[in-house]
Every structure is written in C-alpha cells, then in structure tokens.
Chain A
Amino acid sequence: MIKSKHSKWGDYLVVFLCVIMILVFFLPVWNVFVRSFSSPQALIRSDVYLWPVDIDFTAYTLVLTDTTYTWALLWTAMLTIGCTILSMTMTTLCAYPLIFEKLRGRKFINGFIMLTMYFNAGTIPNYLLFKSLGMINSPTVLIFPYCISVFNMIIMRTFLQNIPDSLRESAEIDGANPVRTLISIYLPLSTSVLATLSLFYAVGRWNGYSDALMFMPQNKTYYPIQLLLYNIIQSKESLDAATQEGFSTPGASDALKAAAVMFATIPILMIYPWLQRYFIAGVTLGAMKG
C-alpha cells in the first residue's frame, strides 16, 4: 500500500492530538498523586505541580491507619466483587432466554424491559419502594435494586444471538437441555463479553455513591468508599455551610484530601490494564449491534 504525504501528516496530527488528550486526562490525576506525597508547607506555597516537593508520607499514614478508610475500602471491594458476580448471573439469566425465538411473548418481554431503560421512576418513588421493602438504610439497597442494567443485558443478548444457532442445535441433538447448553456452549464462547460487562458492573459499583447517599444515609458503617470521599471533600469545601452557620469547620489538609482520593482510585486503576483488551472488544460489540 502506498501512503500519501497527506496521510503521514494526518497521522502526525492524530498522534499529536492524542498526546494532548492523554495529557489533559492524565495530568490532573498525576497532580493529585504528587500532591498526596508533598508536605503541607509546599502545598500552601503552591510549589507542587509535576513533582512532589519535600516528600512526606504523613497523609498516607493518616489514611492507612484510620480504620474508617481501610474498612470502607475492604467493604467496597467485597461489595464490588459480590455485586459483579450477582449482576453477571442475573444479566446472563435474563439475556439467555431472550435469544430463543420460540419463547412466548418474547417481543413483549423485550419491549417491557427496554421501557425501564428509557423511563425511570425517579428518586422519591424508588425511595418509597425501597422503604416498603425494608431496604432503606440497609446495605441490601446497594446490592439488589441495581443488580441488572438493561443496557448491559442488551449487549449480552446481542452477543449471544450472534453465536450460530447450529452450535446450539448440535448440543440439543446430543441431548443437552437449555441450562447445559448455556454452560457448555454459550458461556465458553462469551468470555470477552463476560469480561467486559463484569468490568462495567465493577467500575459502576466501585464509583457509585449516589444510591448510598439517597437510600442509606443513616448507616455509616456500610458507606462505600466513594461516599466517604464525597463527604470528606464536601465537608472541607462547604464554604456555603460555613457562611450559613457563621463558623468554619477546620479543613483537612490538601495532602490528606489528595491521599484519600488516591486511596480510593488506585485499586480500580490497577485492574484496568488487565481487562483493557476485553473492554475495548466488548464496547465495540455493543456499539455495532446494540
């Protein structure tokens, strides 16, 4: 293939823009990272940009020795793993039957499920529902209500639909029932979508805090780490509250805030590179056929 000069310059431009984009996304995170290692004095003098100044681990010591943080991290990790397993099970169990054309009322069920994707009842009706189910202020409210995402289910369904029927038929001829077919034929062929959707669910759960904020405000023991973080940042920045109350709350140091942010971000960042290839494959798949 012969490349034109134009395309070469085009490539440079694309690479250049990509580098800029990477810097735009990366530098703020990097800045928070180096701030978390810098001394309060250096932060106050606004000396910290790209490299830590007067390296100081006090903030991390504070974060790591505070059981509130470590427990929240552990709890969020357990929650993320548990919810991801549950969500994947539910998503598969919902998507799989919907690929059978002979399923009665398939169109209606599909439409019905789709409807919930477009129309959400809103916070207050949800609150009332969870209240009547006895879930308010209980950690179950973080697990069950959002354990299935319609969007993810559709990706899953589409993927399963694209697996040739002949494979299923051959299994049926061998006497496999639908459950056996799912386990032996479909799931082994769906590793990429399973990995992608797991990542979607895991990241969503890891980063989620609004459900805990709205539906579990009085159960601090089970606050996910992100809500804890939200409260730390809010409490220190709420000048509005200070104005209303006429007194200012002593603020956490900038280094502590940065350390808390890094503490909550690093674990999920660490699993990203391992799952990245599935992630890209899965997203493209959803985009093409969804």
Chain B
Amino acid sequence: MTASSKTMDQKMAAAEAKRKKRMKKKPTTMAGETWHRFKKNKLAYIGMWYLIAMVVIAILAPVIAPYGMDDQNADAILLTPNADHWFGTDNFGRDILSRILYGSRISLMVGFATVVFSMTIGVVLGALAAYYQKLDNVMMRIVDIIGGIPQMLLAMAIAASLGSGLRNMMIAVIISTIPQYARITRSSVLTIKESEYVEAAKSIGASDGHIIFQHILPNVMSPIIVQSTLGVANAIMASATLSFMGLGIQPPSPEWGAMLAAGRVYLRDYPHMCIIPGVALLLISYALNVLGDGFRDAFDPRLKN
C-alpha cells in the first residue's frame, strides 16, 4: 500500500466515523417516525410554530394587548403605523394591534370549534354509510345534495335565515362543511372494511361497534386529521367572509372579517385598516394549509417521491 492511499483510507475512515456520529437514534414508535418525517418539511414546521404562537397570543390577548379592544381615542383617529400604535388606529381611534390580538381569539375559536363539530358529525355519517351498505345510498345522496351547493352560498343562506351572530355563523359553517368529512371518511372506511384484519375481527365474533371503533376508525384518522387541519383554515376564512358581508359577527367585535369590512370605506386613503387584518387572515390560513400538507406527507410517505 502506498503512503498516499493510506492517508486516503484514513480520511475515509474519519469521514465514516463522523457520519456515524451524526446518525440519530431510530424512533421506535409509529408516531416517532411520523414526527421525524414531519420535521423534515421545514415549511410545515414553521407553520406549526406560527399556529402555536397564534394560540398563545389569543390566550394572552388581554395581557399583551397595549390598549383595550374598544378603547376609543378621538385624538388619534386613522393614524398610520407608528411607535405608539404599531399597526395604526382605525376611524374611531382604536388601536388596530389590540383589535387584531383580540380578533385572533374569535377566529381561532370559530375555526377550531366548527371543525370539531362538523368533523365529528361528518365522520360518524361517513363511517355509518360505508359500513352499512343499506344506509349508504340515502345518506350519501343527502350529502351529495348539500355538497352540490357552493359552500359559501349555502353558508350565506343559512346565516341569512337564522340571523347574524356568532352562534348562527358557526352553525352555517358547520353544516356547509360536513359533506367534506363524510366523503373522505366513507372512502377510507370502504377500503379498510375489506382488509383482512377486519375479516379476522369478524371471525372472532366481534360486534359491529367494536370493529368500527377498534379497527376501522383508528386506521382512517390520518386523512381526516389532514382534512380537518385544512378545514380550520377554511372555517376561519368562511366566518371572516360572512362577517365581512355583515352576516356574521357584528361590530364592534374585533373580528378580522368585520375589520376588513369596516376598513373598506377608507381603503383609498388609509389602506392599513384593510391590509393588516387581511395579512393576519392570509398568514393564519397559509400556516394551516402548509401544516395540513406536512401532515399528509408525514402520515403517508408513499405519496411523496
């Protein structure tokens, strides 16, 4: 062996040792592997932290907001962003930053609460339809009819007939988003239903309820989690839209959609009144969307590559 090849070998061995050191411990649980894959997606990871930050901000809004959400100051109306009011003030002299912070409470609550309701109802309907073929036709046709109406139009119609307000707006969003969950659950359940482990459960004499809750639902959760993450963004947007049109939360509540509506009149001269709530909506929706994509890739690595 020549001297130069010897040093080459040593170099290679050193590189090898370095690589071995860098190697992490292999996760042993399925959740651990999923988490590892998720973390690889930087955008989704950032989205997750943005969302966590927003939740913390929403909870701490009364503590961190520099002004009250309704504090009017006649001496400081329509100020552009400055040192005292970072996001400026609106036509009543209210601090926009404070209103955005308080508004995050409404948006997030509406987003999460409506998704919890519509997901629960949708998953139960979809699972029943898929598992009991007799119910399938009736239930899925109803879902198809609801799903056939444009979601926003349906939500507007419901909100208009029930009257405005937080509760009615949430009902409108819930009803209009149920079909998404019912459909996605039904198609997943139909696949899992045919699997051998469901057959095995039947062959030991397990009841339908046992099979649905023990074997089917845990295995269809990943697409539903992905859908509901995207659903939160959808629900936040839908409620903002309803409020923007006056069918949702009424002023003076600092809802982002309502703030947009209020700023519309001043758009030409004071665009910050619209831009700031608009950007807030955009960011939260974008964060939830990349998070949902990240979940999807993490749950099912086969979809990527």
Tell me, yes or no, whether A binds B. no
